[in-house]
Amino acid sequence: MGQQLTSGISDDAPVTRLEFLLMFLLLALSGNPFFSQNLPLFISVLSLISLYYLLTHYNRTIYTRTLFIFVFFIGYEFMHAFMFDLDYKQTIIKLFLILLFSFTVVNILKSRFIPVFLYTMYVICIISFVFTVLCYIPGVGRGLYNLAAALFPLQKDFKNYSTPTLIVYTFLPEFFTGAFKYTRNAGIFWESGAFAVYLNIALYLKYYTKNIQTFSDLFDRQSTVFIIAMCSAASTMGILAMVLVITFYCFRLKSNVKYIGLFLIVTVSALAFTSFDFLGSKIEKQLSVSGESNNRFGSALMDLKDIEERPILGWSRRIEVLFGTTVSSSRTHRPNGLTNFIRNYGLLYFLVYFFLVYQSFKAIGKYYHGGSTGLALLGILLLWVVSFSEQIYDEAFLKGLLFLALVYLPVARQQVQNVKVKRKFSLN
């Protein structure tokens, strides 16, 4: 199936410059701090790509799933605006344009979306290695850090904190102030934890779309680069998620060598969690103060109490609804992305979002190797784990996951005859 042609280009063909640029823009829009702080400008400019795509494909057939995604997720914001008497005009416009750009990138790349994503993340990793090394060179690292702050100025948050970026790499301020003895690799994203989110998604999709037969198949060139980048990010939940993914795929190997591999994974993981302060000791410390702190565990407890009050429809994304203020502070900061997502939107939105993403993962599996419910569910579990400390579900790439079933399942139907064709209609 990996050899199917999409728009005349094989899935195995080299990534073109245009494809790389489209994916890089989608990822930058999803997590680069300069893009995020200037979101209205960038999403307006990128909407020109969406407009061009619509104008050149206005007579194409679309699936009812597409309209459902737009109507449900935009309609939900209208509902919250009505429920809580909020001025949501700008929010709704931004969300619509983000959804539209994600839809456009998915439909331009079609079944090449995953190969292009993997290649783009691979390039981002290689570039990040170079800059991470440069950070340790006296004078050079500091010079680049200052250059980033001057070229792409950022507003500081309520903690008086920001992460200077050169777009292709984001710097860790704590390393340059002396608070950290080592730098944490953030790639192009707002922090290393966010980089770890996308690295884990990349590693999962790499394994999911590959025919893994032996233990060494888990460590090909791309996968190894993703794993090294994950380690250089030094993200607690990122490492946990990576171990989960590697262990799961190792366990599925048919050879008895998998038991040796599992032993090595467990041993190395245990040593790492007892040796590095950002792993075992950090989790232990945060758990010990979870009842009185809004760290990722404390935030989860606070969010769960709020979820109990509005479990179905949520509190909306606006902090003034729950906290009675529009000013961000340590009181309103809840870093647990998973429980924050449920608190904001409720279980209805949560279940619909992940059902659609599950369908996308299932369609990808059917396209590459006939499908696996277990592997699709692993993708959902992975998103839950990595979002435990990062708020990611508003990002453009995560919205793009909603549309992937539209480009993978139609091709898979050519080989899987027992899959019913979804009802569709024409824009004509």
Q: What is the mean pLDDT of residues 210-229?
A: 92
Tens of pLDDT along 283-300?
555 544 444 557 778 888
Closest CA to 108 of 195, 39, 9: 9
* 215 touches 261 (CB < 8 A): yes
Cα(208)–Cα(377) distance, integer angstroms: 12
Tens of pLDDT along 59-109?
776 678 899 999 999 999 999 999 999 999 999 999 999 999 999 999 999
> Residue 9 falls within a domain, yes or no?
no
HSE toward the beta carbon, residue 58, CA cutoff 13 A: 5
- Strand blocks (E) in 219-260: none
* 195 touches 186 (CB < 8 A): yes
How is residue 399 written in tokens?
């919205």
Q: Please tell me the predicted confidence (pLDDT) of residue 272.
A: 59
> Residue 282 falls within a domain, yes or no?
yes
Cα(132)–Cα(30) distance, integer angstroms: 21
Tens of pLDDT along 186-207?
999 999 999 999 999 999 999 9
> Residue 5 falls within a domain, yes or no?
no
The total number of structural domains in the chain stands at 1
- Position 244, amino acid: L
Give the DSSP letter of residue 130: H
Cα(356)–Cα(102) distance, integer angstroms: 15
Concatenating the DSSP letter of every residue in 334-356 gives ---HHHHHHHHHHHHHHHHHHHH
Tens of pLDDT along 321-364?
999 888 888 888 888 899 999 999 999 999 999 999 999 999 99
Range of the domain at 406: 14-426
Mean predicted lDDT score pLDDT of the chain: 86
Residue 288 CB partners (closer than 8 Å, separation 6+): none
> Residue 153 falls within a domain, yes or no?
yes
> Residue 8 falls within a domain, yes or no?
no
> Residue 1 falls within a domain, yes or no?
no
Whole-number CA gyration radius for the chain: 22
Closest CA to 423 of 63, 61, 33, 29: 63
Q: What is the mean pLDDT of residues 363-391?
A: 90
> Residue 3 falls within a domain, yes or no?
no
Place of tokens 């494809």: 19
> Residue 313 falls within a domain, yes or no?
yes
* 425 touches 64 (CB < 8 A): yes
Residue 120 has pLDDT above 90, yes or no: yes
